[in-house]
Structure 1
Amino acid sequence: MIFLDVPKTGLNTPFQGGLVKDVAESVIKWAKDGLERRGLGESVYLNGLAEVVSTGATPAEKLLQMYNGKWAQNVDPVFEELRY
């Protein structure tokens, strides 16, 4: 069952002869096309999602990469580098 696999394998989860990533790309394209037809400049709000789908890396995965990489398994930098 796909809903059990997605939390583990994310966008790389096999689905109907492709990947969940393929479905996500299509959905973002449809949403972007629809928003652009409205002409209100709203499609920019999809840019973050489009980046996740194109790179395949979720924000959580990016944090884990930094934690296991340049942060040397120390959480303190999250408070310095990722201030909002």
Structure 2
Amino acid sequence: MCMTNSKKWHLERLLFLIAGSFSLVGLAVGFFISPWGYALNLLVAVNMILNATVGFCPMAIPLKSFGVKSCDYRLTGEN
């Protein structure tokens, strides 16, 4: 993962924000409303594992269509 200043919102940073938010919502729904809310956490975990293993993330498709750029350290020369 590349280090950026806190003012830049690259694709990878937004993906972590969205995954964390969905996970917290799933926990809240599971705890306060219905145990089926924990299924949202399962879906988030499956998507994160899918992204880590094969590099595909379904949430990245709409984000890229909105024009969010990826922070690829290989292209910028940063570590």
Higher RCO by CA contacts (8 Å cutoff, separation 6 or greater):
2
**More helix per residue:** 1
Tell me the TM-score normalised to structure 2 length. Answer: 0.38
Rg bigger for which structure? 1
**More strand per residue:** 1
